[in-house]
Amino acid sequence: MEERPFGNPITNPNEVEITVRRAQKAVLNPKQDQQIYESYLFGTKSYINDAATNLLKFSKNIICIEIRGEDTLNLSLIDLPGIIRHTESKEERHLVTIIEELVQQYIANENSIVIATIACKDDIENQAIVSMAREIDPEGQRTLGVLTKPDTIEKGCHEMWVKIFKGEAHQLRLGYFLVKNPTKAELDKGISFEHARKTEMDFFSRSPWTSLSKKRMGVDNLATTLSDILLSAIRTKIPDIKQDVTSLLDKCRENLRALPDPPNLDPHLEACCLINKFVNRLQSWIDADKDSRIWQSAVETFAKFKKDIRNVGPRFGLKSGNEEGVTSRIELAELGFAYKKRKISIQDVERIYAIIDDPHDDGSAILDDGYTIVTEDQIEDLLHRSRGRQLPAGGFIPYQTLRTIVERFHGKWMVPTMECLSAVATTFATELEIAVEEVFGKYPDVAGIIW
């Protein structure tokens, strides 16, 4: 939730109404630029005709009016919309729920005073605000009833409202007030605030109101009483307020203690010291002389990389044509037998054994389904085609033979290699981010540039 200023401060009371109307216009047309409505001209449009041009009929956003002055009462007033039960069309039924939820949201606050506005032209039991106030304040401890439109009471029905006003029915701890605001016709004629208040008190000077307490009649008395009620509520909450302030103060002091020492007066020297500290930390990680956690975390990654590379390597077999007799590991005894029968030199046997049998292999690598079989005949053919100045059988194995076999499969190394590199880079980046925060944390702008 955020608060946005609307227009410039108002010093002329006559500008309040038009400014509030403009603010409401902006709230009900959220897709338009707010500044459009800061100087909006309504012209001769009535409230009803102008409302038809709004994008929304209702909004949960509120209009805040902050009043400052020497004679201003210490009072915060939230004017909530009237609760409705029916709408003009089915498409607008959702407005009933929205308004009820908004009202409940505000009156549920235990620190608020609920001013239940009750129109005298309808039975009190039929008015929604009364039932809602009873739900959130069943004992009536923080609900103040305000009876309005007393001029609409039918003849012979005044007695019921007089009992309510006196607290003899529907009792509330804060009691009831009786007010009479100008009619629409009087507002259209531009009645002033002072004249409206005088007309109000003249009305209450007539029967049946003459015998009732004048301190509970009129808008002026209501405003004064509300200010007193608010002040009393604040005094009641002072112990809780002190506790909250103390808690916030302790938290503030804790944050101050957590602050690092003040920086060096020489910014260049401070920057050099921080950079050197950062570089030394990274170098320590890379060398693993004091902190080897990066390399320790990469052990599993490297083990997986080893298996992945072995997984895409060639599969050697003693036979040609199909996979029958194919083996991923050729025992030295079998090669020795091949040496005796096929006249392969013992140097060739040892060399091939070294190529296809890694003494560090744990045998846990799972061969890829896409492996390629390299048979004994193919190796012999490679030996024959790769031999140059080397001595015939019994001499050394040409290096080109090994290179040809490796080149045939090394293209499959790219995927596992990049996966390994990415995993290690991610680990290092995580540690690097921690290091940046620890070294440059008290200089957020510098940390943002580095990371």
Which amino acid belongs to residue 324? E
Does residue 312 share a domain with residue 222? no
**Is 322 within the bounds of a domain?**
yes
**Is 210 within the bounds of a domain?**
yes
**Is 264 within the bounds of a domain?**
no
The answer to whether 82 and 119 have CB atoms below 8 angstroms apart is no
From 201, 230, 259, the end of a domain falls on 259
**Is 12 within the bounds of a domain?**
yes
The pLDDT of residue 347: 56
Q: Name 143's bridge partners.
A: 114
Does residue 224 share a domain with residue 211? yes
What is this structure's pTM?
Answer: 0.50
Distances (CA, A) of 19 to 41, 59, 78: 11, 18, 17
Which H or E run contains 145? strand 143-148
The answer to whether 398 and 387 have CB atoms below 8 angstroms apart is yes
3-state secondary structure at position 390: coil
Q: Name 388's bridge partners.
A: none
Does residue 379 share a domain with residue 336? yes
The pLDDT of residue 285: 81
The pLDDT of residue 201: 92
Does residue 243 share a domain with residue 140? yes
The pLDDT of residue 372: 60
The pLDDT of residue 368: 42
Query: pLDDT tens across 348-377, in order?
Result: 555 554 444 444 444 444 334 444 667 777
Does residue 94 share a domain with residue 219? yes
Does residue 90 share a domain with residue 58? no
From 71, 106, 124, the end of a domain falls on 71
Distance CA 80, CA 132 (A): 13
CATH code, domain with 202: 3.40.50.300
By CB atoms closer than 10 A (0-12, 13-18, 19+), residue 401 is buried
Q: Name every residue whose Cβ is closer than 8 Å to that of residue 115 and which is 6 or more positions away in sequence.
A: 144, 146, 226
Does residue 219 share a domain with residue 134? yes
Distance CA 101, CA 51 (A): 23
In the chain, the number of structural domains is: 3
Does residue 93 share a domain with residue 242? yes
The pLDDT of residue 216: 92
Q: Give the chain's residues under pLDDT 70.
A: 1, 47, 73-76, 263-264, 316-373, 387-396, 451
Which amino acid belongs to residue 17? E
**Is 339 within the bounds of a domain?**
yes
Dihedral pair phi/psi, residue 375, rounded to 5°: -90, 170
**Is 20 within the bounds of a domain?**
yes
Does residue 278 share a domain with residue 252? no
Does residue 103 share a domain with residue 87? yes
Does residue 414 share a domain with residue 384? yes
Does residue 81 share a domain with residue 62? no
The answer to whether 57 and 92 have CB atoms below 8 angstroms apart is yes
| Ordered alpha helix ranges (H), 44-119 | 47-51, 94-107
Distance CA 326, CA 309 (A): 20
**Is 19 within the bounds of a domain?**
yes
Distance CA 105, CA 109 (A): 7
From 37, 71, 105, the end of a domain falls on 71
The pLDDT of residue 175: 92
Domain ranges, residue 54 = 1-71
**Is 450 within the bounds of a domain?**
yes
